[in-house]
Structure 1
């Protein structure tokens, strides 16, 4: 149903929950907001109905204990289509997003086949998603080494050469994703994980790419781990285990497996990346921060005025390595979960503004891929599926720490929207889209993976008791689902999002360190 009026006792406006009446235009944009007195919402609804005969069909009066927040913006999800729809697809993935209160997603470039390295790849993904999306969706592009581009080979198949970053930016990509793990360490691991196409850049290749991206004020997102540190840790672990039995027993313990990808690898990589940002002025985003040691470096870089941002993930804030049951491959991810000290440091980093966003890093697998090594965690395909439960899990954890919904919403909506310049998303205000999340902070539920919309019923969140439940979502004024009408069918109202470079002329020079972002407007292309 299309909304024209939404009235609630708790709307998140300018950082506080207040009674309000939202008026929504036919284009799904919030036209006016009327602040109300506490307890007056039912009377307000009756007045609007009496004044406007047609309001009944477009009226939603939210139950008193429920609150209305900006719809989630998840800038880090993998849907694996085309190529690996047995893991996830646009339909099941965006449905999970809608049910979790996420109304906009940006999809990663490396989980599908082919990887998104050409404008044609980007258009192929857009075409595949257009008729299936329950929420708005945009796409990242991948950066691969020039040697791969010149050979025109990605995923071991002969293909036309990769596109220049300028072409992908103008074609609608929101930014570029790369990894720093070099070929001598990561290729075999990535191939076993089903993602051989995300090949890493050398330091020289990285700096060259950053210089080019800085010229048009693009955005680079980096998976930052240092391979030499990881290789040394893996070798030390093997040397310390005197027998095959001891190795097998250690491989089933999460903390032992996580030690093979130590926190120091992330710190060293982040330190080198910040040096590259300082040299090039490229707007850079650090993916999946999992360790306390990276926070001090990121904070110092921001204080210096470098164009740097960083995210962490709901699973790093919800779990600790020492608490993972033995032989639980559903918790395997890169970087791995850290101990409780790192987890609490991440929470502190969010509150201090060092970290800019919390994302799901939704990376689905089939049961066979995740469980193929049984208790040997080294053989499990990395990735945690958590898109549908991410907001509720995060809000529940935040509540236990005395952190309010305004901060949680900033991490899951406002921050990610600002990062990717989705200027009409991420806030409840006139001129913004009526992308909304309706949340019952008192309804407790227990996660059942079999009940999630994700294609594979396997999740690290299985059995988690969560205090607070997403009970509705609204996309550009269209109610996707609501607890007040359980018979309604979830509608595929998602649209394709184009990045800020679409149709925008390239600037003459690089982004200046410390300068403010150039304001550009979201472009929405109808699916």
Structure 2
């Protein structure tokens, strides 16, 4: 179904500007700058860059509400037991869509079927497919690197995982035991063969071990949920060396300071735990300076806590505004960089951008109301608080 969507503030090429989009099927077919009036585009007909000669079947006039690329959350834990059925995926996808998230990437931790083999991946893929009619966002998967599965890594990559997570410190998950230093090196050596990506928790005691392994192998590595200033210092040094390392932090490490977050049980689910104001300020500096590339973790956290109030894009954007950081930068941290990390910026339908030919994965943000009002997945309205 064709749609014309006009807004005074569409994020195009890193700037908020008046624009009208024409969505055809699951893609953005055309983008016109300089006007937010869909009627003007429709009336122009073929005289205006091939615009439709008649109004599209569906026309949205957003006024000052912002139209942004859908968020891609690469750090989601779908509920335990989801491997046996699609309920966990449907729940996580619903939470995601209402927060403006249009793609989630499931991590293997706390899962009934850790994705350590192709067979385990197929179980999760099947569970997601069984819930496909209920899914309000796209789903991708991380694989896992554990002792003894080095020969499974390339087959998992070929089967569609976006990368591999591992643990190099003590784990409470018996399905994902710790990699010893020699096993870590073996996994990274194998990943280099097919340009695979490793993602590992940024624990203070293990970052040095990880970075030493990257120095030795040259494997692409991503640090998960950075929460402390100590890790930032090590990461900054690694980037100055030119190591192929990226890193993320989580929404809940940027918005509430320790002792200030509401919701009670929401903070108790955070691992690593919330830090103090000094660490929080350091994380914001790390994002502004490019030491950290992305902010993740809202969809899975919201699903695990039953919507208990852990922050997402809306609260992050408000906190960013108070620190002088504009929405385009927040969108970059939550969409463009996460898309690039897991390779969803490639192909014939790239995500994370508003441009002709890109996926019509979009959300409408009303900063005055402090709300995500509408989310589109492949041009289909999947979440809305707006009467149409």
Match of 2:72 in 1: 73
Asked if residue 44 in structure 1 is aligned to residue 43 in structure 2, the reply is: no
Q: Secondary structure at the match of 2:368?
A: strand
Distance 1:385 1:354 in 2: 30
Could you tell me which of 311, 319, 322 is aligned with 1:400? 322
State the 1:365 CA deviation. Answer: 4.4
> Equivalent residue of 1:321, what SS?
coil
Correspondence list, 1:118-137, <5 A: 118-132=117-131, 133-137=135-139
Equivalent-residue separation in structure 1 for 2:122 and 2:86 (angstroms): 21
Match of 1:153 in 2: none
CA 1:479–1:105: 2 relative to 1, 3 Å: same
User: Which residue of 169, 179, 203 maps to 1:201?
Assistant: 179
Q: Which residue of 2 aligns with 1:115?
A: 114
- Tell me whether 1:339 sits opposite 2:276 in the alignment: yes
CA distance in 1, matches of 2:33, 2:383: 25
C-alpha displacement of 1:83: 5.0
TM-score when normalising by structure 2 = 0.89
Number of the residue aligned with 1:294: 231
- Structure 1 residues 472 and 82: alpha-carbon distance in aligned structure 2, compared to 1, 3 A threshold: same
**2:353 maps to 1:416:** no
- Which string of whole-angstrom CA distances, capped at 9 and with x for unpartnered residues, describes residues 242-269 of structure 1? xxxxxxxxxxxxxxxxxxxxxxxx1x42
Q: Give the structure 1 partner of residue 58 of structure 2.
A: 58
Aligned to 1:222: 200
Equivalent residues, number: 374
> Matches of 1:179 and 1:164 in 2, distance apart?
17
Q: Is the 8 A contact 2:29 2:357 kept in 1?
A: yes
Provide the rounded CA distance (Å) in 1 between the counterparts of 2:328 and 2:103.
Answer: 19
Instruction: Indicate if the aligned counterparts of 1:395 and 1:405 stay in contact, CA closer than 8 A.
Output: yes
SS at match of 1:89: helix
> 1: distance between equivalents of 2:125 and 2:386?
33
Deviation at 1:480, TM superposition (A): 1.8
Q: CA deviation at 1:313?
A: 0.1
CA distance in 2, matches of 1:323, 1:279: 42
| Residue correspondence of structure 1 range 4-403 to structure 2 within 5 A | 4-26=3-25, 28-37=26-35, 41=37, 43-44=39-40, 47=43, 52=52, 55-62=55-62, 64-80=63-79, 82-83=81-82, 89-132=88-131, 133-146=135-148, 164-182=152-170, 186=171, 190=172, 195-225=173-203, 266=204, 268-323=205-260, 328-332=264-268, 333-360=270-297, 362-363=300-301, 365=304, 389-403=311-325
Does the 8 A contact of 2:28 with 2:355 survive in 1?
Answer: yes
Q: CA deviation at 1:435?
A: 1.0
- Structure 1 residues 386, 217: CA separation in 2 closer, same or farther (over 3 Å shift)? farther
Stretches of structure 2 that go unaligned for 5 or more consecutive residues are none
Provide the C-alpha distance between the structure 2 equivalents of 1:45 and 1:96, rounded to a whole number of angstroms: 35
**TM-superposition CA deviations, 1:474-496 (whole Å, max 9, x none):** 1121222344436xxxxxxxxxx
Alignment correspondent of 1:469: 371
Q: Is the 8 A contact 1:12 1:18 kept in 2?
A: yes
Flag the 1:473–1:324 CA change in 2: closer, same or farther, 3 A.
closer
Per-residue deviation, 1:15? 1.5
Counterpart pick for 1:431 among 351, 357, 363 = 357
Matched position secondary structure for 1:442: coil
Contact 1:81–1:125 under 8 Å retained in 2: no
Query: Is this contact kept in 2: 1:109–1:116, CA < 8 A?
Result: yes
| Equivalence for 2:380 | 478
* Residue pair 1:223, 1:286 contacting (<8 A) in 2 also: yes
CA contact (8 A) 1:180 1:222 kept: yes
Deviation at 1:390, TM superposition (A): 0.9
Report the alpha carbon displacement of residue 46 of structure 1 after superposing the two structures with TM.
Answer: 5.7
Can you list the C-alpha shifts for 1:103-149, whole angstroms capped at 9, x where unaligned?
01101112221211111111111111114221111001111112xx5
What's the TM-score once normalised by structure 1's chain length? Answer: 0.66
Following TM superposition, by how much is the alpha carbon of 1:5 offset from its aligned partner in structure 2, in angstroms? Answer: 1.9
Instruction: Report SS of the residue matched to 1:220.
Output: strand
Coordinate RMSD, CA, aligned: 2.6
- Contact kept, 8 Å, 2:208 with 2:234, in 1: the verdict is yes
Q: Secondary structure at the match of 2:273?
A: coil
